[in-house]
A and B are shown apart, each in its own frame.
Chain A
Amino acid sequence: GENVEQHPSTLSVQEGDSAVIKCTYSDSASNYFPWYKQELGKRPQLIIDIRSNVGEKKDQRIAVTLNKTAKHFSLHITETQPEDSAVYFCAARDTGFQKLVFGTGTRLLVSP
């Protein structure tokens, strides 16, 4: 089955800096990679996703890159703001069992 590793576990940046969170996956057949943001006490919400036929996807200040050869994908947040502070989860779709496998999360803290 699929295994997803996520780094770092915590990330502190100053407002306006960029933040990068990295994930690796084990199953080369995985074809869908979403990123979720979870604010304290709230439900996870999808912020961006990428499919295996695409190398990069952007949505305003957020971008995701995928390297299928190396089996890793990354979330990039530019011009960070305090409201970006949250826990971010990456995931990969386990094609064998038709389910998402999540990373352990990255707590991002953006200081004013």
Chain B
Amino acid sequence: DGGITQSPKYLFRKEGQNVTLSCEQNLNHDAMYWYRQDPGQGLRLIYYSQIVNDFQKGDIAEGYSVSREKKESFPLTVTSAQKNPTAFYLCASSRDRGEGTEQYFGPGTRLTVT
């Protein structure tokens, strides 16, 4: 299934706690992405990284943070500042940022905050 993994599959947290979602890929891809998926709203980009030690904000970055210290890893932290963190989170990677490179998605993490 593409060599990109996310853990855990389900995650439960109390309001006010920070939580970190894991994303690892063994595809040797340069670019990695985090999306949030809510019912009826499609895929919204949170953060993306084209290269190690560099990342850019997507469309809904507020309340989230990322790091890209290694090529294969792109963890996402959902902070207590994120007002509505309950959602399905998808990580993706692509070979590079060149023209027409397919994005491969991980299996997703469903986060529930109560």
Contacts and interface: CB of A to CB of B under 8 A. Distances in A.
A45 interface: yes
B40 A104 contact: yes
- How many residues of A sit at the interface, in one of the four size bands? 20 to 34
B42 A44 contact: no
Interface string A43-74: 11110010100000000000000000000000
Number of chain B interface residues as a range? 20 to 34
Contacts of A43: 1, 90, 105-108
Nearest to A10: B40
Contact of A99 (B58, B90, B105): B58
A99 B42 contact: no
Contacts, number: 52
Contacts of A97: 56
Nearest to B33: A99
A15 to B, nearest CB: 25
B19 interface: no
Contacts of B114: none
Interface in B61-111: 90, 97, 99-100, 102-108
B23 to A, nearest CB: 12
Nearest to A103: B42
A48 to B, nearest CB: 11
A28 interface: no
Given A49-B102, A89-B42, 15 more contacts: A6-B42, A34-B102, A43-B90, A43-B107, A46-B103, A93-B99, A93-B100, A98-B31, A99-B33, A99-B48, A102-B43, A102-B44, A104-B40, A105-B40, A105-B42
Interface of B: 1, 31, 33, 35, 40-45, 48, 50, 56, 58, 90, 97, 99-100, 102-108
14 contacts: A31-B99, A32-B100, A36-B105, A43-B106, A43-B107, A44-B43, A46-B102, A46-B103, A51-B99, A51-B100, A98-B97, A99-B58, A100-B103, A102-B35
